[in-house]
Amino acid sequence: MTKAVLQSVYEETIRTQYDAIRSGVGVLDFSPAGKLQLSGKNAVQFLNGLVSNEVKGLPLGEGVLATFPTLQGKLAALCRIYNTGENLLLELDAINREKIFKNLNRFVPAGEFFVADASDSLALISLQGKRSAELIEALTGQATETAEHKISKHELAGTNVLIANHRRCGEPGFDLFVETQSAAKVRSAILEAGKTFGAREVGETAFEIARVEAGQPREGVDAGEDYIVLESELEAAVSYTKGCYLGQEVIARIHWRGQPAKRLRGLLIEADVLPPRGTELFAVEGQMAGRRAGEITSSVFSFALNQNISLGYAHRYCLEIGTEFILKQGDVELGRARLVELPFVKS
């Protein structure tokens, strides 16, 4: 095959995978994700003092989105915390697995709680797509919960599975936690039953397009220790009524007294190339005219909009919908960007 033909086949494959998310079911493997289990008498009290959302009183079968902030209110790690009845299950991005496990583990001698790293023993298969709830019901014979971060036990392909509601790219979504040795059997059962629902294995490129279209920040790319939690549009991970936690003072002060210096926003791109991460935004008009006013963090070609789009941070004086920017890499002008409301594509 020629290079042009290979490129065409590649693009067609990505489009087919993307369409599975938007109209069927995308089957993704997030097994490298961190999966930590906290148990013991003081597990809830201990964790509640470290994260930004309320864990105390978390009902059985429910979960919350939370952050581990730094003392400066920046994002050390984003996580989902589920009360499984047996323990508190924390699901984190793979880049934070070791860091958070070590941080939690060093406090174990001081309290009646235990932390185990189940990242290798538990696989994580994620179903993301318009028809994913239908597929889950067909596989388990039970109706699915619709609220985000619900978690429940089911039997699938003769295997016990924990199923959590988790929208990762705008469409309905479910994370399946299954013992690693049974993961291949469960995945095969999903794909076989999923033929009726347009299920297809999806790779990172197609998922990234759907994720950016949904305006979902990715750790290590759009969010992390370079940004204060509220700058990354993670308000849903913060409680303003709970007790003290690390970084609370900074986060609360920004929330009650003003706004962050910059915020994550969506940008329509008018340029011949996708602007790479770190591309600078220069304001065209207003009090920031001619000055650096932000930077790009993620860029993809949107199939839904037939246009290049980006996530990036814009200065608080440049947050109005329609604000235009010049894109620059060093002294080279790449094109223009226009700020738009997120998500780019509504479910």
Whether omega before 69 lies within 30 degrees of 0, making that bond cis, reads no
Written as six digits, the tokens of 225 are 């220790």
Interatomic CA distance for residues 198 and 98, integer angstroms: 36
Interatomic CA distance for residues 68 and 51, integer angstroms: 5
pLDDT number for residue 10: 73
123 to each of 79, 152, 313, how far by Cα in Å? 17, 16, 33
Q: Which helix (H) or strand (E) is 127 found in, with range?
A: strand 122-128
pLDDT number for residue 144: 84
Q: Collect the ranges in the chain with pLDDT lower than 50.
A: none
Sheet holding 173-179, edge to edge: 151-156, 159-165, 173-179, 122-128, 25-29, 199-201
Enumerate the CATH 3.30.70.1400 domain ranges in the chain, comma separated: 34-117
The secondary structure of 56-123 as a DSSP string is TTPPTTBEEEEEEE-TTSBEEEEEEEEE-SSSEEEEE-GGGHHHHHHHHHTTGGGSS-EEEE-TTTEE
Instruction: Return the CATH superfamily for domain 261-347.
Output: Aminomethyltransferase beta-barrel domains (2.40.30.110)
pLDDT tens by residue, 161-189: 999 999 999 999 999 999 999 999 999 99
Enumerate the CATH 3.30.1360.120 domain ranges in the chain, comma separated: 3-31+121-213
Long-range contacts of 160-165 (CB under 8 A, 24+ apart): 161/186, 162/82, 162/84, 162/89, 163/136, 164/63, 164/80, 164/82, 164/91
pLDDT tens by residue, 232-258: 999 999 999 988 999 999 999 999 988
Instruction: Return the CATH superfamily for domain 34-117.
Output: Aminomethyltransferase beta-barrel domains (3.30.70.1400)
Phi, psi of 47 (to 5 degrees): -65, -35
Enumerate the CATH 2.40.30.110 domain ranges in the chain, comma separated: 261-347
Written as six digits, the tokens of 211 are 């994720």
Asked if 83 and 162 count as a contact pair (C-beta separation under 8 A), the reply is no
Tokens 């894109």: give the residue.
Answer: 327
Fold category of 3-31+121-213 in CATH: Gyrase A; domain 2 (3.30.1360)
Interatomic CA distance for residues 256 and 264, integer angstroms: 19
pLDDT number for residue 9: 66
pLDDT number for residue 109: 76
Q: Which helix (H) or strand (E) is 43 found in, with range?
A: helix 43-48
Q: What is the pTM of this model?
A: 0.95
Interatomic CA distance for residues 171 and 104, integer angstroms: 33
